[in-house]
Amino acid sequence: MYLSKLVGARTKENPADAVIKSHALLMRTGFIKAVAGGIWSFGMAAQRIALKIEQIIREEMNRIDGQECSFPVVMPKELWDESGRYSSIGDELIRFTDRTGHSLVLGMTHEEAAVHFARDNITSYVQLPCMIYQIQTKFRDEARSRGGLIRVREFVMKDAYSFHLTQDDLEEYYEKVFDAYVRIFKRIGLDNVIAVKSDSGMMGGKISHEFMFLSDIGEDKLVICSHCDYKANMEVAEGIITPNDNSCDNQTMREVFTGSAKEISEVAEFLKITSVKTIKAVVYNIKSSTKQVVCFLRGDLEVNEAKLKKIIKCDVVPASLSDSLDIVAGNIGPLGLSESANRVIVYDNSLRGCSGMVIGANKPDYHISGVSVNRDLKISNFVDITKVNDGMRCSVCGKPLTVKNGIEVGNIFQLGTKYTTSMNMKVLNKNGVLVNPIMGCYGIGVGRALASVAEDKSDEKGLNWPISIAPWDVYLCPLRYDNEDVKDLTHQIYDEFVKAGIETILDDRSVSPGVKFTDSELMGIPIRVVLSPKLLATDSVEIKLRNHAQSEIIPRKDIIQTILNIKG
Amino acid sequence: MYLSKLVGARTKENPADAVIKSHALLMRTGFIKAVAGGIWSFGMAAQRIALKIEQIIREEMNRIDGQECSFPVVMPKELWDESGRYSSIGDELIRFTDRTGHSLVLGMTHEEAAVHFARDNITSYVQLPCMIYQIQTKFRDEARSRGGLIRVREFVMKDAYSFHLTQDDLEEYYEKVFDAYVRIFKRIGLDNVIAVKSDSGMMGGKISHEFMFLSDIGEDKLVICSHCDYKANMEVAEGIITPNDNSCDNQTMREVFTGSAKEISEVAEFLKITSVKTIKAVVYNIKSSTKQVVCFLRGDLEVNEAKLKKIIKCDVVPASLSDSLDIVAGNIGPLGLSESANRVIVYDNSLRGCSGMVIGANKPDYHISGVSVNRDLKISNFVDITKVNDGMRCSVCGKPLTVKNGIEVGNIFQLGTKYTTSMNMKVLNKNGVLVNPIMGCYGIGVGRALASVAEDKSDEKGLNWPISIAPWDVYLCPLRYDNEDVKDLTHQIYDEFVKAGIETILDDRSVSPGVKFTDSELMGIPIRVVLSPKLLATDSVEIKLRNHAQSEIIPRKDIIQTILNIKG
């Protein structure tokens, strides 16, 4: 490829709306261009990277006996009615009608299509286990697309679906996919990926893992124990709360004036105590209902909404002050507040055995101090609704936990029979009985993986691609391309590279060495080979790796073998 | 791949709705499955074929300096407003809104997206010419999807867009694409493809060619001269009409009773004349208008609607009897019928100089005979609206023309500046002046190419894939797989094949040789290798090509080299 012909303009300025590195650099190189919110065009360089990532994924899926298929982007409503997801999924699912008024959807995931294809094509246990997958465009109408390719609406995804006769067989295969994912992220050069236990959400099923690329720009929170193997998504993470020191708390209850102090931090400061000695109230509205949930937990902790939703089996949104019914916002306390047709009360584990606590008095300007949970509150049921924080300890080994940010680059789910039951897929087992196969499903977003590598590897000079997915191996950089001897040698070497399978972009522009070097670094091509009249005189070339500070002069005859060695 | 695990059930019966071979066979093999009208899932075998076709297309596009990109499936209305196609395209374009009410479309072709990507990324003539392309899913809401993968709504297409400074440069590149297309169809093994001149239709631009696979099941009609190089789509085909013999036609006009005879064939039979001696009237309604067009042409000829539309610059639909305003259907004639606010009259070239003709009398039950066009009709303007038929002669060399059926498997267009002008794409030319680049665009449908090969090569036994796109090279067919020695050898050979890059499907089922042979032929795998206890005893294997009637016994040690030779 000749750089002069590449459709992709490089710019010096960061795009105004790009707040993360990968977004800014992929745009500044002309690799990608936004067509609408969360909808992107990929130029040649980005597409070459995407195709290489896809090929690595394909090889690893085939290695675990995956059968590459292709399911449609557009599917009929009836198919999604079978699983129930046509109505259960919200606005993320694009719904529209065709010329005859028939209702269709855009695929955001393909469980329905996979079961539809498999249910006539798999009839006997002899065919199990098997896995079908595709690498294909999907559309999810995200409310907040952001960060370039990190969170988009249209994306290419590898989605795989496996079918099994028994849970044991699923679990065995699940491990194989797990290992394949580890190999995939390693091969595409994405370090700092960890697998964490996750919440299955809308997918159904129970056991699932997310593969998280650890990055400060990640929107997901992960809880990691640095001592044992414990890792979990914040939504499901558990931790041991440091218990209160209750030794000097044999106090009696009394009302204390707290004035305008509403937030726990304000109350604690007003009363000169730590928030650990307070009981916090957090109020949620239950979606599609007039009910509220009042959560009580220790003042230094936060509510984990995912845990709360699971416990009350309802979706919730934080209540606003204007929603409050008969509650004194900022002074809510467990004493005298009872459950009713419109109110559910939930007490967190962190309150167990606490004494000497400050609680809201359920009237303006007052709290109550000296409260003993056991003596005064008569709570019959404690549950875990606490969000794990950096101060907590691992529930497995007791060592300190760390909270980190991550970007989800892959996920694997044990689906169970949710789809095979609802969509009536049955196979004959060894005893001749028709049973619903057990499914697993497994996804990797190609564009997000690409952006994550860009995010991880880039530096102040620009992008920096691992050679396994780089758009080109070599940036061939003749200085004084106007010099006929240099030009001849350039084309000779270019042809030799092509022949040797070394993918090369040739900077054939008549610009200064500085511009050429800057662009080669901005585009992140792993190997730069420089030719010049001076080097020509000694039959040498200069080679510099994007990852190394120093370049090296080597004999011209050694260049191909040197590069092949680097490619490995 | 082990056949026992393949998700794809083979059936003996043709699907009830499959009227063409490729449709029936691709379904009977479990290669594809319908998800909705014109929307298909591809199983592993079909997807492997599709990927090989895509790779051949990719290699040939890259060979002519194509830059593979990826444009979105979903695009915003605004982009299509820029070109004017949001409103000019009818129901084939799927339109819908996202969660915020923003209007979007599903891409059915990507001129807008290509220009959108190119216009900021190409700024100077130095970057021209260049070509960007993608291989990607599209959706076109066809009113009548049919024939399995032949005419679908969702499809994967290679669409390419080139940009040029001059028309000469476009034409030079257009030739290169033409040649690349010839190579592509040759490499995928699709014979009987010819390039014909075509009507550019909604794409804009002037010169265009369609690559047509000649097949009786094709819906397109092509006009071919077997003597010179003339080939054209029926829509634009021209031919020389055999002129009437007017020697004995010095007759006078007179009204003749024709009773209920309305169709030309009925009138000719009633009057004992040939249809050549009649003038036919064909009436069309102009779309979105109250106007009608009355076409007069020689009775043995048909109207070419595409030509008519170009001449009157309006879209038309055949009028029905109930539409007729002040016209006597079945007795319409040019005498006494005049143009009006609601009526346009068009006279075909075929009427020039005719005499002794029968025309409608514009009153029930009567025609007029003995009409001389020159003497009686005073027509000032003849045009060509005739559909070419087998009886006509080539307008280039005068030799007989043939009409054949074809399936469009590719097309190439010289677009001109339609999109670069409407979308305001400009580049600096050598003189520093901003000009709109000239575009070409070039498409190939992957699924239709696949189905066309299936249609072309299959026989009464089943599918029959050329080795260049076959899902597997070899069908490894152990007879008595239950025999341990056979089984061991099978796995040994399977491993050797995989190592040698020979793609193999292993029939590991415990079924009769007959079932295995039938399936290997039904699936159309090019090479069948048979192993059995008897062959094992002589250290031999049997090899049979799908295209050959006879099998051959060869030494086991020669099998890999033999197959590699066949693969070429």
Arithmetic mean of pLDDT, A548-565: 96
DSSP code, position A151: B
Contacts with B69 from chain A: Cβ below 8 Å: 7, 41-44, 47
Q: Do A94 and B94 touch (CB under 8 A)?
A: no
pLDDT, position A329: 85
Closest residue to A41, CB basis, from B44, B69, B139? B69
Map out the domains of chain A as residue ranges.
15-237+404-455, 254-383, 474-567
Question: Rounded mean pLDDT of A434-454?
Answer: 97
A137 close contact with B: CB closer than 8 A: yes
Please tell me if residue A98 touches chain B, with a CB cutoff of 8 Å: yes
Distance from CA of A122 to the nearest CA of B (A): 6
Instruction: Using CA coordinates, name the residue in chain B closest to A162.
Output: B7
- Does A122 contact chain B (CB < 8 Å)? yes
CB contact, 8 Å: B6 with chain A?
Answer: yes
Question: How confident is the model over B246-269, as pLDDT tens digits?
Answer: 776 778 999 999 999 989 999 999
Distances in whole angstroms, Cα of residue A501 to Cα of each of A559, A565, A567, B34, B501: 13, 13, 10, 40, 18
Among A319-323, A377-381, B381-385, which range has the highest average pLDDT? B381-385
- For residue B39, the chain A residues in CB contact (below 8 A) are 72, 74-76
Task: Report the pLDDT averaged over residues A224-253.
Answer: 86
pLDDT at A84: 96
* A75 contacts chain B (CB < 8 A): yes
Task: Give the position of tokens 């499914």.
Answer: A439
- Do B132 and A98 count as a contact with CB atoms less than 8 A apart? no
The residue of chain A with its CA nearest to that of B138 is A73
pLDDT of residue A373 exceeding 50: yes
Chain A CB within 8 Å of residue B135 CB: no
> In CATH, what is the architecture of B474-567?
3-Layer(aba) Sandwich (3.40)
β A220-225/A401-416 pair status: antiparallel
Any CB–CB contact under 8 A between A313 and chain B?
Answer: no
CA–CA gap between residue A267 and residue A367 (Å, rounded): 9
Predicted confidence at residue B199, as pLDDT, reads 63
Q: What is the pLDDT of residue B387?
A: 94
**DSSP-derived secondary structure for B206-274:** S-EEEEEEE-TT-SEEEEEESSSS-EEETTT--EEPPPP--TT--PPPEEEE-TT--SHHHHHHHHT--
On whether any CB of chain B is under 8 Å from the CB of A71, the answer is: yes
- Measuring CA to CA, how many Å separate B378 from each of A140, A157, B298, B356, B373? 66, 68, 16, 15, 7
- Give the residue from chain B lying closest to A1, CA to CA: B65
DSSP sequence for A238-270: -EEPPPP--TT--PPPEEEE-TT--SHHHHHHH
Place of tokens 């029905």: B320
Packing angle, helices A21-28 and A446-457, rounded to 10: 100
Question: What confidence score (pLDDT) does residue A203 get?
Answer: 46
Q: Is A5 on the interface with B (CB under 8 A)?
A: yes
Q: What count of other Cβ atoms lies within 10 Å of the Cβ of residue A400?
A: 14
Tokens 């998700």, residue located: B7
Which residues sit opposite A414 in a β-bridge?
A440
Segment A245-255 shows an average pLDDT of 82
In angstroms, the Cα distances linking B457 to A556, B21, B251, B515 are 51, 10, 58, 22
Q: Beta partners for A280?
A: A297
CA distance A282 to A284: 7
Among the partner-chain residues B42, B65, B73, the one whose CB lies closest to the CB of A70 is B42
| A517/A526 Cα distance (integer angstroms) | 12
For residue B281, what are the contacts with CB-CB under 8 A and spacing of at least 6?
B294, B295, B296, B332, B333, B334, B360
- Tell me, which fold does domain A15-237+404-455 have in CATH? BirA Bifunctional Protein; domain 2 (3.30.930)
| Interface contact A7-B69, CB threshold 8 A | yes
Cβ <8 Å between B117 and A41: yes
Residues in chain B closer than 8 A to A54 (CB atoms) = none
> HSE of B43 in the Cβ direction (CA atoms, 13 Å)?
27
Q: What is the ipTM of this complex?
A: 0.90
Q: With a CB-CB cutoff of 8 Å, which residues 184-223 of chain B face chain A? A: none
- Give the model's confidence band at A160: pLDDT under 50 very low, under 70 low, under 90 confident, else very high: very high
State whether B154 and A73 contact (CB < 8 Å). Answer: yes
Instruction: Give the N- to C-terminal CA distance of chain A in Å, as an integer.
Output: 22
Write down the number of H helices and E strands in chain B.
14, 31
Q: Do the Cβ atoms of A47 and B69 come within 8 Å?
A: yes
Model pLDDT, residue B202: 43
Query: In chain B, which residues have their Cβ closer than 8 Å to the Cβ of A48?
Result: 68
Is the per-residue pLDDT at A92 higher than 80? yes
Which residues of chain A lie closer than 8 angstroms to B154, CB-CB? Answer: 72-74
Task: Report chain B residues whose CB lies below 8 A from the CB of A164.
Answer: none
- Which of B35, B73, B76 has the CB atom closest to A79's CB atom? B35
What is B254-383's CATH topology? YbaK protein (3.90.960)
In order, the DSSP letters of B39-59 are: EEEE-HHHHHHHHHHHHHHHH
Looking at domain B17-237+404-455, which of 3.30.930.10, 1.10.260.30, 3.30.70.60, 3.30.70.2190 is its CATH number? 3.30.930.10
Residues of chain A contacting B91 with CB distance shorter than 8 Å:
99
Inter-chain CB proximity A74 and B153 less than 8 Å? yes
pLDDT for position A555: 97
- Per DSSP, B275 falls in state G
A42 touches chain B (CB under 8 A): yes
How do strand A474-478 and strand A504-506 relate by DSSP bridges? parallel
- Confidence tier at A278 by pLDDT (50, 70, 90): very high
The C-alpha of A36 sits at a distance from chain B's nearest C-alpha, in angstroms, of: 6
What pairs with residue B504 in β-bridges?
B474
- Give Cβ neighbours of residue B264 (< 8 Å, ≥ 6 apart): B275, B278, B280, B299, B300
Q: What is the pLDDT of residues B122-137, one digit of tens each?
A: 989 999 999 999 999 9
Q: What is the least distance, in Å, from the CA of B2 to any CA of chain A?
A: 9
**What is the reported pLDDT for A288?**
83
Cα A282 to Cα A383: distance, rounded to the nearest angstrom: 15
Residue A382 tokens read as: 């404690």
User: Residue A132: CB partners within 8 Å, gap ≥ 6?
Assistant: A66, A67, A68, A69, A114, A117, A118, A160, A161, A162, B7, B43, B44
Above pLDDT 70, what percent of chain A? 98
CB pairs under 8 A between A and B: 193
C-alpha A185/C-alpha A469 separation (Å) is 11
> What is the reported pLDDT for B565?
96
Q: Tell me whether residues A75 and B134 touch, CB distance under 8 A.
A: no
**Whether residue A273 has pLDDT greater than 60:** yes
Q: Note the pLDDT of residue A202.
A: 43
CA distance B56 to B466: 13
Tell me, rounded to whole angstroms, the distance of Cα B38 from its chain centroid.
Answer: 16
Q: Which of B4, B32, B64, B70 to mutate to test the interface with A (most CBs of A within 10 A)?
A: B70
Give me the pLDDT at residue B203, please: 46
Q: Is A133 on the interface with B (CB under 8 A)?
A: no
Residues of chain B with pLDDT under 70: 199-205, 248, 321-325
- pLDDT at A469 > cutoff 60: yes
To probe the interface with B, which of A2, A74, A111, A510 has the most B CB atoms within 10 Å? A74
Give yes or no for B43 touching A (CB within 8 A): yes
Q: Do A116 and B35 touch (CB under 8 A)?
A: yes
Q: Which residues of chain A are within 8 Å of residue B36 when distances are taken between CB atoms?
A: 72, 74-76, 79, 102, 104
Question: Where is pLDDT greater, at B562 or A144?
Answer: B562
